Structure 1
Amino acid sequence: MRALVCKGRGFDDLAVVDTPAPRAGPGQVVVSVQAATVDFADTLIATGKYQIQVPTPFTPGNNIAGEVVEVGAGVSRFQIGDRVHGMAFVGGFAQRVALLETQLRPTPDDLPADLACLTGAPYRTAYDALVSAARVQAGESVVVLGASGAVGSAAVMIAKALGARVIACASTTDKLDFTSEIGADEVILTATPDFKDRLKTLCPGGVDVVLDMVGGELSEPALRAVGYGGRFVVVGFASGAPARIPLNLPLLKGSKVLGYEIASFEREESLAAHANRDALERLIASGRVRPPITARFDLEQGVEALRHVAGRAKHGIAVMEMG
């Protein structure tokens, strides 16, 4: 089979090559991959910058959708021919991947593969962070830092579907135009020197919820704009630097600083995670949330796809289709 293989710790060490096809071990199924998202986290894993180091050589690719072509001993949830989607962590940028059946979910009939793979990490992260961490209510204000990226754009659309007023924050006017197109009510350029004051002007009583995918220098001014009882949810550090915030801010505001990480949430809150997955799939299948696929690549363009997503000009969702 063909697969994108990383032999080192950089984009120059990536190549699409012929490799042996996987076989299903006990509790595993082999999936013929039809589509996979190309996410920022995939670029970090491929270049050795992710918090978990993967021994080389390996095939990156986390969120996949496809069809079961082989089942291993003890598998009870799936059979050959079933449409499935799920999270692989690595291995997804290939024509076939072997996964534990517990890593997969059945794909609804009305959800095509290119949308089913989107219900992996980016959209799960956005939904969980908004619903289970921030507990967003209709009518509340939601500020999304890094709103043009995969998780950020998902958060914009999901927050709108939940009835929130969404303020999208991004680093360029092109990215802000994109967030307006997908439903943001207001937009703010993060490079503006009066970023905090702009947030306060838009939300005179204080922001209800901040989703922070960026970290670095943006976090503190955003937290200062949160109102009494507001929630600040830490999701990631796309800037490359974790935020350092004065803890007197949540003390004085009666606000909450929360963290969300997908693996620990699914491990510790499995019932909520399962309910969230069902709800998210219904939102996308119904058309209430329409993921903006802004770039499509085939497997032979795998290196180009990762370079594209790693670039700061990228916005929306990139999908790799295996053919």
Structure 2
Amino acid sequence: MAKALLCKGFGPPESLVLEEVETLPLGTGEVRVAIKAAALNFADTLIIEGKYQEKPPFPFTPGMECAGVVTELSEGVRHLRVGQRVMALSAKGAFREETVVEAGAVLPIPDGMDFATAAGFPVAYGTSHLALTDRAQLQAGETLLVLGASGGVGLTAVEIGKAMGARVIAAASSPEKLSVARDHGADEVIDYAAEDLKARLKELAPKGVDVVFDPVGGDYFDAALRNMAWCGRIITIGYAAGRIPQVPANLLLVKNCAVLGLFWGAYRKHNPQRLGQSLMELLAMWGRGKLRPHVSHALPITDYAQAFHLLSGRKAAGKVVLTLV
């Protein structure tokens, strides 16, 4: 038996329950991991409320990524060993004391990286990396606008964009959040709670923005689209503002720009090789000191409701992580 956070019906975080459940069976090509930390993502807040594009059958355990120690390997798994510290993408849910994952979704944690940092590494960095490399094809010297720049995904886009040689403009909703973005490499900042985003962009990028990284949507997407440079690219990641924007096709024509989507989770199905390659590239960047993951809150799993509210209420900068003893 092992404790797991269960969603038995769509609702707020308080509707979740922490219960003892049967341990998961170990299948062919799988690894059993004793979880030490598991990170929240904005998608988790949508999943438990029934607002995500995927709706698992009840009861289910939320959580997409975790870090811990390998306790058991199925026959044929060669790249891992029992006792090894690992990070993993968990299709069966990460908010539990132990889980079983496909061996291909497990990576060793590099020396010097703690469990909380490792737990929040794959999804946020992986999303930003594939968005800026594969989809936007960001080039050195281009101007990159990151909306929601202090969030779990946005902050990684600031770091990766800077590492790729872009001029990074970070936009967020408070001076405190923008201070974090500056500390992680932003060249310019915009407080869109106090400043007009469209007007400030015209000041900071008179010729327009080459690439927009947008996990927010709503009015911020609209303002960014109207400030695109010739041949600019806007990457839609998510809709934290609540409104899914509608794209006026005439603006795409006039500006010769493109709106591209990035659903990182779909790479596991459609291009797992590229997903793994991307994560290895990111770990190499971390090893060279190019990335500095930021965990703003690490809470025990018993405080799961507080953790969810920190994320959904946009009160966190960087990642929110649940810890397990």
Deviation at 1:162, TM superposition (A): 1.7
Q: Distance in 2 between matches of 1:245 and 1:193?
A: 23
* CA distance in 1 between partners of 2:305 and 2:288 (Å): 33
Q: Unpaired runs of 5+ in structure 1?
A: none
**Deviating more after overlay: 130-139 vs 2-11:** 2-11
Residue by residue over 1:89-126, the C-alpha shift from the partner in whole angstroms, topping out at 9 and shown as x without a partner, is 44211110011222222333343322222222111001
1:8-157 pair list within 5 angstroms:
8-10=9-11, 11-157=13-159
User: Hey, what does 1:5 align to over in structure 2?
Assistant: 6
Give 4+ residue runs of structure 1 displaced > 6 Å after superposition. Answer: none
In structure 1, C-alpha distance between the alignment counterparts of 2:42 and 2:155, rounded to whole Å: 13
Q: How many residues align?
A: 323
Q: Is the 8 A contact 1:169 1:190 kept in 2?
A: yes
* Structure 1 residue aligned with 2:160: 158
- Give the aligned partner of residue 179 of structure 2: 177
What letter corresponds to residue 87 of structure 1 in structure 2? L
CA contact (8 A) 2:30 2:74 kept: yes
Structure 2: how far apart are the matches of 1:201 and 1:77?
52
Q: Structure 1 length normalisation: TM-score?
A: 0.93
Specify whether residues 42 and 218 from structure 1 end up closer, same or farther in structure 2 by C-alpha distance, changes over 3 A only: same
Q: CA deviation at 1:219?
A: 1.2
| Residues 1:246 and 2:268 are matched in the alignment | no
1:188 CA drift (Å):
1.3
Per mean C-alpha deviation after superposition, the further-off stretch among 169-178 and 43-52 is 169-178
Following TM superposition, by how much is the alpha carbon of 1:142 offset from its aligned partner in structure 2, in angstroms?
A: 0.5
**1:255-270 alignment runs, 5 A limit:** 255-270=257-272
Structure 2 CA distance, aligned partners of 1:264 and 1:100? 16
Residues 250, 192 of structure 1: alpha-carbon distance in 2 compared, 3 angstrom cutoff: farther
Measured in 2, the distance between the counterparts of 1:172 and 1:185 equals: 16
Q: Tell me which residue corresponds to 1:296.
A: 298
The aligned runs of 1:195-206 (5 Å cut-off) are 195-206=197-208
TM-score under structure 2 length normalisation: 0.92
Shift of 1:258: 1.2
Does 123-132 or 272-281 show the bigger shift? 272-281
Following superposition, the deviation at residue 26 of structure 1 comes to 2.4
Contact persistence 1:119–1:280 (CA under 8 A)? no
Distance of 1:60 and 1:307 partners within structure 2: 15
Q: Among the aligned pairs, what percent are the same residue?
A: 38
Output the CA distance in 1 between the equivalents of 2:286 and 2:119. 11
Q: CA deviation at 1:319?
A: 1.5
Letter in 1 for 2:257: S
Cα separation, 1, equivalents of 2:246 and 2:282 = 32
Deviation, structure 1 residue 166: 1.0
Secondary structure (helix, strand or coil) at the match of 1:150 reads coil
**Consecutive unaligned residues in structure 2, runs of 5 or more:** none
How far residue 210 of structure 1 moved from its aligned partner, in angstroms, is: 0.4
Q: After superposition, give the CA deviation of every residue in 1:37-67 in whole Å (9 maximum; x if it has no partner).
A: 1121112112222111122222211111112
* Contact in 1 for aligned 2:135/2:235 (Cα 8 Å): yes
Cα distance in 2 for partners of 1:146, 1:29 equals 35
Kindly indicate whether residue 276 of structure 2 is the aligned counterpart of residue 309 of structure 1: no
Separation of aligned partners in 2, 1:287 and 1:168 = 21
